Amino acid sequence: MKKFFFDCGTRDATASLGLLFLRVAIGLMLMIGHGIPKIQQFDMAKEKFPVPDFFPLNLMSPFFSLCATIGAEVGCAALIILGLATRPAAFILAFTMVVAAFNIHASGLWFLGPGVEGPKEPALLYLIPAIAILLAGAGSYSADAGIYREGRRKKW
């Protein structure tokens, strides 16, 4: 179980540096651009926040839907930035972006443009790095690398 949650993936220095940059950039952009504004507008949005229209998520209230979205966009983004439980956090974030793109913005156009309301593009642009981080892991410059240290094989 520890390996599943905390395996950092590659330990190559160059790849780990690239993953560190990707994790920090995407995590901060998501947190600052989407998560924190939802917290600031919580009182206004808690009654009218969209709820996905497929089972079992359609059983949520708008309040709980907003809380779950904030949890993904702030909590999981923070875990990704730190590189702590990165793969589970990336999975939850990717799931949230799939729901946002293909359910909440299902009727929206694919790309941003003049007068386009609610396009899929922002959610897809967060989905792509979330999948990359899910597959690659956090890299050696992460909290996961400190928690899960692979046993070194002896050559003798």
- Distance from the Cα of residue 51 to its chain's centroid: 19
Q: Taking 60 as the threshold, does the pLDDT of residue 126 lie above it?
A: yes
DSSP code of residue 140:
S
- Structural domain of residue 39, as residue ranges? 7-147
H or E segment to which residue 122 belongs? helix 121-136
Q: Is residue 74 assigned to a domain? A: yes
Distance from C-alpha of 57 to C-alpha of 88, rounded to nearest angstrom: 19
Q: How many domains does the chain have?
A: 1
In a domain, 77, yes or no: yes
Residue 123 lies in a domain: yes
83 inside domain? yes
Q: Is residue 2 part of a domain?
A: no
In a domain, 152, yes or no: no
Output the pTM of the full model.
0.86
Task: Report pLDDT digits (tens) over 64-101.
Answer: 999 999 999 999 999 999 999 999 999 999 999 999 99
4-48 pLDDT, tens per residue? Answer: 667 788 888 899 999 999 999 999 999 999 999 999 999 999 999
Question: What pLDDT shows up at residue 116?
Answer: 66
Report the distance separating Cα 22 and Cα 156, nearest Å.
38
Is 63 within a domain? yes
Within a domain: residue 154?
no
